[in-house]
Structure 1
Amino acid sequence: MSAEDLQNEEREVLDSIFDGDENFKAIDTNSFQYTVYSATSPDKTVALRIHWSSQYPEIIPNFSLELSHNNQIPPHVKANLLSELKTFAEENVGVSMTYLIVDWLKDNVDSLIPSGLKKEEVKSEQLTKRQKNKLSSFGNSQTRGRDWVDIIRHLSQMGSAVE
């Protein structure tokens, strides 16, 4: 079978396996995304994008973790995860492996992503009314309403429009 035939067959299999699974998305004919959630810890989630090249499955697919869902994962953890994914994929070259990769990631997400990776929320200071007013002038030392004073002065110099 040619690589294209194998890809078409795998696409059909993936559609039937992941039918109704909201964690799976077919981005286009050669790109897929799956979001894996840990069964033990809600902060251990990862979204993986898999892209097949024209020679897939004879060569491993391209993996991407550069998705907004993964912003809480530090770069060194992402690098380790990609390395582990590539190692697993290289063991399965020549085989339709997208489902195998997703299943492997589901089984290993707890060991690959350390606990407590939630992005720290930066709490802003509570500002007083005076501080807010000071900030609202954008560094301008001029008083509030300055523009209105200029407009009224201009209008008074123009005189009345109705005579």
Structure 2
Amino acid sequence: MTANEDQEMELEALRSIYEGDDSFKELTPTSFQFRIGDHDDSKAFLLDVSWPETYPASPPTISLDAFFNNRISAATKEHIISKLEEQVESNLGTAMMYTLFEWAKENQESLMENHKPVVSTVTPSANSETVNVTSSKKKEKKEQLTKAQKRKMTERRDNKGELPRGWNWVDVIKHLSKTGGKDDD
């Protein structure tokens, strides 16, 4: 079989296995994202995997550069990638995406054992340039708004003088709960 035939077969298998799974996302026929862990899990991470033209004979490209992974330290990212590359080496020449994703899910705890969330904040400097400051300290307390500021925010209108779409979503939900949905007929 040629590399393209192997890729097509594996792509078809991945689509059928992960159909309806929100952890798996096919960006292109040769590029995928797979989330390990739940969205609200502090130890969750997002794998970006791309196939070269000669995959599975040559290893896929694995990256943790997605915005979702910004809170993971560089050392932890390197550790995860090195462990995943070990798995790639042992499965080289075969269809390995399912094996790789499942291995990462099963070993999430060990991959993230040294994980300490990174907090990054953007602060303006004296010469009005933005500087990205990264630290593992506690988040600073948000500035509290005054009553006047809150009132002004709720009274904001668009350029036509109308309130923004969805401003009264609580009333819509109350109305729908009283009237029922389309299925209640």
Provide TM-score, normalisation by structure 2: 0.63
Q: Is contact 1:32-1:51 (8 Å) kept?
A: yes
Answer 1 or 2: which has greater helix percent.
1
CA distance in 1, matches of 2:3, 2:115: 42
Partner of residue 74, structure 1: 73
Moved over 2 A (4+): 114-128
CA distance in 1, matches of 2:37, 2:20: 16
Partner of residue 114, structure 1: 113
1:93 partner amino acid: L
Deviation at 1:122, TM superposition (A): 3.0
Residue identity over aligned pairs, in percent, reads 35
Q: Deviations over 1:51-105 (max 9, x none)?
A: 0000100011000100111111100010111111111100001110011100000
Partner of residue 104, structure 1: 103
Q: 1:24 to 1:118 in 2, by over 3 A?
A: same
5+ residue gaps, structure 1: 129-163
Deviation at 1:115, TM superposition (A): 6.3
Q: Deviations over 1:10-53 (max 9, x none)?
A: 00000000000011000001000000107xx9211010010000
CA distance in 1, matches of 2:62, 2:114: 23
Instruction: Specify the SS of the correspondent of 1:47.
Output: strand
Instruction: Specify the SS of the correspondent of 2:107.
Output: helix
1:75 partner amino acid: A
Instruction: Specify the SS of the correspondent of 2:86.
Output: helix
Q: Is contact 1:43-1:115 (8 Å) kept?
A: no
RMSD: 2.1
Q: Deviations over 1:103-140 (max 9, x none)?
A: 00001110111366334423356699xxxxxxxxxxxx
CA distance in 2, matches of 1:104, 1:32: 16
2:117 partner amino acid: K
Instruction: Specify the SS of the correspondent of 1:34.
Output: strand
- Which of the two has higher C-alpha Rg? 1
**Is 1:17 aligned to residue 17 of structure 2?**
yes
CA distance in 2, matches of 1:116, 1:6: 36
Name the count of aligned residue pairs. 126
5+ residue gaps, structure 2: 120-138, 147-185
Q: Within 5 A, what are the aligned runs for 1:14-163?
A: 14-37=14-37, 42-114=41-113, 117-120=116-119, 121-124=139-142
